[in-house]
Structure 1
Amino acid sequence: MKKIINILMISLLVTACGEPSATNTETPATKLGENTTTAGHSLNLKQQLTVITQHYFALRPEIATYFGVSDIDAGKNIMSKLTDYSPSGENHRRKGLNAILNELNAIDTATLNTSENISLNAIKSEIKGALLPAKAVAYGTVLGEYGVWFLPYTVSHLSGLHIEFPGYMEDKFAVNNSAEAKAYLTRLSMYPAAMGTLIDKLNLDAQMGVIPPDFVIDKTIASLQQQLNGMAAEHPLVTSFNEKLLTAEVTDREALGQSAAELVESKYYPATRQLISALNNIRPKASHNAGIGHLPQGKKLYQTMIQHLANSDKTAEQIHQLGLSEVARICTEMDGLLKKVGYNEGTVGERMQVLLNDPQYLYPDTAEGKQQLLADIHADLAQVNAKLPLWFSHLPAQEVAVEAVPDSRAASTSGALYDAPSQDGSRKGTFWISLYDMAALPSYSLQTLTYHETNPGHHLQTLIGLSDQLPLLSSIFYSNAAGEGWALYAERLASEMGIYADNPINDIGRLQSELHRAVRLVVDTGIHAKDWSREQAIDYMVTTEGIHLSEATAEIERYVVWPAQALGYKLGELKIIELREKAKQALGDKFDIKVFHDRLLENGALPLDLMEQKINQWLASVKAV
């Protein structure tokens, strides 16, 4: 999963949680239209979007931290701000996002080159998609998870300030000098105020009848309680800060570190307890219904989420049937391969359960076992990297980092994810893998997971898309369907490269990964459009795929709070395969897989309709020569 956590209003006051007891307001000094020319010369798209990008960061300050954008480029004091989650803050974000769209529509496209026009249209398309759910319902959070997605629930075990904050602060907040160290402490001091805004929104949504399912609340509370374990001085928010201070050789390190520990004790812990209390207060009213279909305007909301996160106009029923068809096709292919390696008895799911419990494919849940798993990831990465030049003309110049999710966040992290590099190159693109449940990571599944998150998957895709010539908003407002569709396509590509030729067991793992994405079409629509229960969805996933119960449970509970996000993988992959076949037929002997991949990736993760439009235009231009 790509985490572009993942990303203003021109005439509206910009609001953020600035001081511990008050909200900051600033008035943007410059309108976009005032910066379209300089000394008679037209500015490029990246330059024209500089101001509007700052206005976006004013709405979602943490995303500037994620991308490693300094206050000089992101806007005044952005590093010292947090998102205002309050009901008024939510209204402000929705109006601000509409204002961004209006400003983008006002840009004179005649001044842009072809690539810039593609990027501008992609940004506008994704913003329109993000606004669709916000127009359908008054509840929920626009620009929620990763600064891009709409979320029906303000608080869950996977999303919200309580999840974002430690992740940004520990992993992404740069501390290179005393000023940045003080900005870090300022954010820590603001946490209770920001938490107050989150709780206000949680309570207002609850009054509208929008309460997370009981199992989501229980899991969220359990995760929050884990954050309270241990002394403040030993909390990762403090220890990671101390490591940064030491690396940067900041003066007064001891005093700064002590201040961080005091703030965790006096601010962070009490705010966390406050959220636990708020969740306990609404818990008696929570139901066990898993889908958003039971929420006010829930069915309408789900259809807009399909458009938003899957770039699809298909109905939930059409997607459900497509999923069943893909499940049957992939199971047939797996059946043949399983028989070749001696697994003949039972359904595909039953045989995969046997494989899952075979000790030779399980990493020990020990420090040594975890080190071996990470070493195997590096070996698999080296194997595919050697083959990339035959399939791509442009390759990422930066290596990908591989890291285990810190223990303090491993339980609340969904499997594995990829983090984009910082804009200044100081932080590498990173493949994060949660080692919380080693039984859910059999060795035969690891190779495919690695290729999905690194090369030729998210890392390669992101680095090629992060062009210095393209505006940052092209990366922030990326297409979930194109991004995840590419990563699933990358798994297939590894097979076409011959990676699995001598390893049928790992090839079965690859097919199981593809089956998993087909199953998602079935269970996501089942939960949100066909009133499937959590338990029904978990049972279908375990029975069909043969995966570990804990993995299926985590996956289903993810789909419950991120409706339609998981649809993007398979729908995006199928579109890419369709376009590749179209290019092969149209070009014949002129078809070059490296050129096809270049054209597909060079403008970033385009919405699927724009991706198709771009490929069609390319084919027409090649055929015309």
Structure 2
Amino acid sequence: MMVKNVVSGLLLGSALLVAACNQPASKSSAAAMQDSLHHLAQKYYDASMALNPMQATQNGENQYNDQLPVDISDSYRKRCDSVYAGFQAALKGIDTSALSPNDRITYDMLERELSINREGLTFHDNLMPVQQFTCLPLSLAQYGSGTSAQPFKTREDYQHFMKRMELFAVWTDTAIANMQRGIATGYVLPKSLVVKTIPQLSALAKKDTANNIFYGPLKMLPTSLDSAAKQALKEEYTAAIERFILPSFAKLQQFMQQTYLPAARNSSGIDSLPDGKAYYAFLIKSWTTTQKTPEEIFALGEKEVARIREEMEATKNSTGFKGGLPAFFELMRTDKKLRIFNTPAAILDSFKAIEDKIMPQVRKMYGRLPRTPFEIRQTEAYRAASASAEYIQGSADGTRPGVFYVPILDPKTFSYTGMECLFLHEAIPGHHFQCSLQQENDSLPRFRRFTWIGAYGEGYALYCESLGKELGLYTDPYSYFGHLTDEIHRAIRLVVDVGLHTKGWTREQAIRYMMDNEPVSLQEATAEIERYMAIPGQALSYKLGELKIHELRNKYTKELGNAFKLSSFHDELLKDGCVPLSILETKMARWAATQH
């Protein structure tokens, strides 16, 4: 109900903005026009948070911590479309000629996001709401762990999440009804993905206080409560888990196993769905922020794989190794001389040494460094087995540091070869710089400070991997080969993602292509390919974004000559936060025009 009330108020605000913005623009009204845009951008952010309360919690907007809309329902999607349409109408009343360059970026990003959001609602992804990689049941488990974005500091915090647990039971019933509709209309997941969801759901359905992640907050009850209040809260919270969470996950698991799995499809690609070809074209546009066709992306991927394989051959030969690339891949996977660590502390110290080594040169390559503190930590034991190395951004006010998390199960099996390139991508100058500078820039409207566009964010982080030699890294050929391994992995994605979703490639065919072109295990390749099957198009964004940034750097290095300053280029690249690649191209051209 609260979401509905907030949204109706926002629609009224949008209507008023239409009236305000449809006045004739004059030079003297430029400031008023900019104020209208700022107001509209803030109202859009507020509307987005109301519609997406889980994201609001992630952003630190805690007024929605007890809400969990049934975001896969037809009524919710109609409400979203109505809200987006209202903002589109208001946006049309703004005279773009009166806007500053920064405000024009805001306008263009709002225009694109509203259009993409509305187009996305015309497809039927809500009929496939559960998969093994990312879906609400898995996100809710993370939030309910007690160590994620959902606060668990007060009794009220616990009550908020109890309300979310209750609402999840409603979401579950809708998910099952939607999947029944999907079975009837041909919108179903591949069998190989359904199989992976069943043990996930089964684990979350167990009354297991030691291992079921939902019981985690009971180990950290608020210290402000006395023992009687703690006991009462523990009993209330446990009852909520057992009333809403365990039965919901059990119901989902039973449905997936008994009803959905027999009806699941044998094909791997999304193009086998009724509107799958059009949906994949939309996903490419959405994830990559380009107009590239699947054929163009596939050809580009093959070209990049061939180029990087040549570099791999040369690097392999520089080590004195006499065999072919497949044999060298096996060496990279298994050779004990590449495993030099005995303790987790030694691994963390080695990452710290990378930071210390590159920072003098980083300070020359970047004029503006983040204020947000930075830390390197070992991933907590409870999630290390299923976690990848990752960067978790700090708070916008700098009170919580950005953290580079490294999962270490057995330090003696941890290879050093990928460490330098991983640090450049996830930490410095990759995600830590990009995320922190974006959040710290209070000249951006909130929807831009907290937005994420993969083609830009992941493209930039992948670009950072290529800076290794300039930063004094990759002097060891095995470390450089580790960088090439990560780079070809992103190029392979262009081939296998398009292959799966437009060319009839099977899961097994894609796994084999990946294993033929990089030193990856069968288990790792399978998990990767199934990820691309679950979220088509997402994996395309990395390489396409990186190539665009390289294209821009090469273009302006050549055009500006001695006037080109890399630190100025990087500062301009980062200062406006995540932007679509077309907007990035426009703003970098505007920057270049001021450098002569």
Q: Partners in 2 of 1:498 and 1:374 — Cα distance?
A: 19
- 1:80 corresponds to which residue? 66
SS at match of 2:121: helix
Instruction: Name the structure 2 match of 1:75.
Output: none
Deviation at 1:380, TM superposition (A): 3.0
Deviation at 1:478, TM superposition (A): 3.0
* Equivalent residue, structure 1, for 2:109: 122
3-state SS, counterpart of residue 431 of structure 1: strand
Q: Distance in 2 between matches of 1:208 and 1:266?
A: 33
Distance 1:360 1:188, change over 3 A: farther
- Identify if the C-alpha distance between structure 1 residues 440 and 129 changes in structure 2 by more than 3 Å, giving closer, same or farther: farther
Q: Distance in 1 between matches of 2:172 and 2:350?
A: 40
Would you say 1:471 and 2:449 are equivalent positions?
no
Residue 299 (structure 1) aligns with: 277
1:250 Cα deviation (Å)? Answer: 5.0
**Residue 560 (structure 1) shift:** 0.4
Q: CA deviation at 1:176?
A: 3.9
SS in 1 for 2:404: strand
Query: Could you report, residue by residue, the CA deviation over 1:569-603 in whole angstroms, capped at 9, with x for unpaired residues?
Result: 11111110010011111211011101001111111
Offset of 1:353 from its aligned partner? 1.8
- Residue 149 of structure 1 aligns with which residue? none
How far has the Cα of 1:422 moved from its partner? 3.7
Q: Counterpart of 1:483 in structure 2: which amino acid? A: G
| TM-score of the superposed pair, with normalisation by structure 1 | 0.85
- Write out aligned runs for 1:284-363 (5 A): 284-346=262-324, 348-362=325-339
Give deviations 1:499-551, integer Å, cap 9, x for gaps.
222x2211110111111111111111111111111111011101111212211
Name the aligned partner's letter for residue 282 of structure 2: T
Residue of 178, 181, 187 corresponding to 1:204? 181
Q: Distance in 2 between matches of 1:440 and 1:132?
A: 46
- The offset of 1:441, in angstroms, is 5.9
Match for 2:125 among 140, 143, 158? 140
Q: CA deviation at 1:565?
A: 0.9
Q: In the TM superposition, what whole-angstrom CA distance separates every residue of 1:412-439 from its partner, at most 9, and x where no partner exists?
A: 65x3443333445454334345557989
Q: Deviations over 1:181-206 (max 9, x none)?
A: 32233223332122223333333233
**Structure 2 residues not aligned, in runs of 5+:** 22-30
Cα displacement (A) at 1:476: 4.5
Larger RCO, structures 1/2 (Cα 8 Å, 6+ apart) = 1
Instruction: Find the counterpart in structure 2 of residue 159 from structure 1.
Output: 134
Instruction: Select the structure of larger CA radius of gyration.
Output: 2
Mapped contact 1:227–1:408 kept (Cα < 8 A)? no
The Cα of 1:59 is off from its aligned counterpart by 1.4
Partner of 1:481: 455
Moved more, 158-167 or 353-362: 353-362
Residues 462-611 of structure 1 mapped to structure 2, 5 A cutoff? 462-466=435-439, 467-501=441-475, 503-611=476-584
Please state how far the C-alpha of 1:396 moved relative to its aligned partner. 1.4
Distance change in 2, residues 1:338/1:230 (3 Å): farther
Q: Which amino acid aligns with 1:297?
A: D
The verdict on how the C-alpha distance between 1:55 and 1:509 changes in structure 2, with shifts beyond 3 A counting, is same
Name the amino acid aligned to 1:610. I
Query: Cα distance 1:269–1:208, how it changes in 2: closer, same or farther (>3 A)?
Result: same
Q: For the Cα contact (< 8 Å) 1:392–1:593, is it kept in 2? A: yes
CA contact (8 A) 2:321 2:328 kept: yes
Residue 266 of structure 1 corresponds to: 243
How far apart are residue 606 of structure 1 and its match? 1.1
CA displacement at 1:494 relative to structure 2: 2.6
- Report the aligned-residue RMSD: 3.0
Residue 276 of structure 2 aligns with an amino acid whose one-letter code is G
CA distance in structure 1 between the partners assigned to 2:414 and 2:526 by the alignment: 14
Offset at 1:440? Answer: 9.3
Map of 2:28 onto structure 1? none
Q: Distance in 2 between matches of 1:308 and 1:618?
A: 26
What is aligned with 1:96? 83
The 5-angstrom pairing of residues 183-194 of structure 1 reads 183-194=160-171
Classify the secondary structure of the residue corresponding to 1:497.
coil
Paired residue for 2:358? 384
Query: 1:269 & 1:452 partners in 2: Cα distance?
Result: 38
Which residue is equivalent to 1:237?
Answer: 214
Contact 1:67–1:423 (CA<8 Å) still a contact in 2? no
Q: Report how far residue 381 of structure 1 moved.
A: 3.5
Note the C-alpha offset of 1:233: 6.5
Counterpart check, 1:58 vs 2:50: yes
Aligned-residue identity in percent: 29
**Equivalent residue, structure 2, for 1:28:** 9
Q: TM-score, normalised by structure 2?
A: 0.88
C-alpha distance 293-518 of structure 1, shift in aligned 2 (>3 A): same
Q: Is the 8 A contact 2:215 2:238 kept in 1?
A: yes
CA positional deviation for 1:212: 0.9
Task: Call closer, same or farther: CA 1:94–1:27 in 2, change over 3 Å.
Answer: closer
- Residue 323 of structure 2 aligns to which amino acid in structure 1? E
User: SS of the residue aligned with 1:172?
Assistant: coil
Q: Contact conserved, 1:223 with 1:412, CA < 8 A, in 2?
A: no
d(CA) in 2 for partners of 1:334 and 1:207? 49
Q: Is there any run of 5+ residues in structure 1 with no aligned partner, and where? A: 1-12, 17-23, 72-77, 142-151
State how far apart, in whole Å, the 2-side matches of 1:250 and 1:102 are: 50
Q: Quick check: 2:132–2:196 contact (8 Å CA) kept in 1?
A: yes
* Alignment partner, residue 372 of structure 2: 398
CA displacement at 1:237 relative to structure 2: 3.0
Task: Decide which moves more: 300-309 or 195-204.
Answer: 195-204
**Structure 2 equivalent of residue 616 of structure 1:** 589
* Paired residue secondary structure (1:418): strand
Secondary structure of the residue that 2:65 maps to in structure 1? helix
User: What amino acid is the match of 2:125?
Assistant: G
Which deviates further from its counterpart, 278-287 or 441-450? 441-450
Contact 1:393 1:594 (8 Å CA) reproduced? yes
Aligned residue in 2 for 1:442: 415
